Amino acid sequence: MKEKNIQIATIGGGCFWCTEAVFQEVKGVETIVSGYTGGTVPGKPTYREICSGLTGHAEVIQLTFDADVISFQEILIIFMATHDPTTLNRQGADVGTQYRSVIFYHDDIQKQTAEVVIQELSEYYDASIVTEITAAETFYEAEVEHQNYYRQNTQQGYCSYVITPKLTKLRKLFADKLK
């Protein structure tokens, strides 16, 4: 049996519940952990602290994926298509730096790939892409109630009105990449 080519990606596209739900559908994604990174305060932040907008952290997911099944480039294309990378520090009604669009790269190849993807996709958007590309920092796992959130709360209002439409879009655009 061939060994898997496991790599890590860390991305933030607003609320981590949304981004997690999208990538739970994607072939080749092995694990997904919601969490926080990119902040300036020391120690592990809490959800409440993150929501204040004062820590500088972004809500992100950190996923492991089999690069022989799905490439980092494909992950970024799905990521960019399932959130609005043109709004600064906001996704829909979620406003603040914790909801910024960001790619935390783990090596120079990921950095270069992110730069190319953003450049190539920019022609498809009316406004400029504001997605940050920055080196990966310490990742803090979010509290247990934020893990697997959509699947455990599909009838909750936010899930119904925000996440379900993202999944519908995902299924339409990327059917060949889904489990």
Q: Report, as residue numbers or ranges, the catalytic residues.
A: 15
* Burial degree of 172 (CB within 10 A; 0-12, 13-18, 19+): exposed
Question: Considering only CA atoms, which of 126, 159, 161, 137 is closest in space to residue 24?
Answer: 159
Q: Contact 158/152 with Cβ under 8 angstroms?
A: no
**What is the rounded distance in angstroms from the CA atom of residue 146 to the CA atom of residue 166?**
18
Secondary structure tally for the chain: helices H, strands E: 7, 8
DSSP string, 30-59: EEEEEEEES-SSSSPPPHHHHHTT-S--EE
**What is the rounded distance in angstroms from the CA atom of residue 172 to the CA atom of residue 135?**
32
**What is the rounded distance in angstroms from the CA atom of residue 105 to the CA atom of residue 102?**
9
